[in-house]
Amino acid sequence: MAFSIHRGTEIYARPVPPCLDVYVWISERSPEVFGQFIDRYVNVDDPGDERFHAFQRVYVLGIASGVDNRALYELCLEREDAFTLYLRARDHYQAIITVTRDGATVLGLSVDAPDDLSETLQQAERLVEQLQQQFSAPACLAGVELPPARDRAEWEEEDLVLLRTGELPAL
């Protein structure tokens, strides 16, 4: 698998070790994919966000209530149909689930990125390969303190991306 790595100077200027965020793009919203990601990566006993259970009921189990819908609506930026849940992970710093504006899903994991960037990037490459295979993701990327993409245009931005593989499928 070929990776392109972009190095920026901003990552060396931080006094506190940042996180490296690794994301995969899934072209649809699938209860099975959400369920697999949650089962494997999310600390369900202590998810860190009370809206996680509403997300599970709505997007995994399909048993939404008005209360659940309102809880998830609070997450939407600018009242659009896109939101991100930042959750505690089992074996990583954080698990991230994003429902995009255009009907896709972005799944992510954050790993501590202490002093050795090259070692952290090697870990990210392994994690990208693992996530890409597990979820049959067409595209993956990683970057330091990289926010998840809320649509295709944000996915294509290069500003904070250190590692990128694959391409988004054509519309």
Per 3-state DSSP, the chain is made up of helix, strand and coil in percentages (nearest 5) of 35, 25, 40
- Structural domain including 103 reads 17-166
Which residue is associated with the tokens 């940042």?
18
Structural domain contains residue 155: yes
Structural domain contains residue 147: yes
Structural domain contains residue 84: yes
Domain count, the chain: 1
pLDDT (tens digit, 0 to 9) for every residue of the chain, 171 residues total? 333 333 333 333 334 568 889 999 999 999 999 999 999 999 999 999 999 999 999 999 999 888 888 888 877 866 677 899 999 999 999 999 999 998 999 999 998 877 677 787 888 889 999 999 999 999 999 998 899 999 999 999 988 899 999 999 987
Residues in the chain: 171
Structural domain contains residue 154: yes
Structural domain contains residue 41: yes
Structural domain contains residue 42: yes
Structural domain contains residue 48: yes
Structural domain contains residue 11: no
Q: Which residues contact 133 (CB under 8 A, 6 or more apart)?
A: none
pTM of the model: 0.85
Helices (H), 74-158: 117-135, 152-156
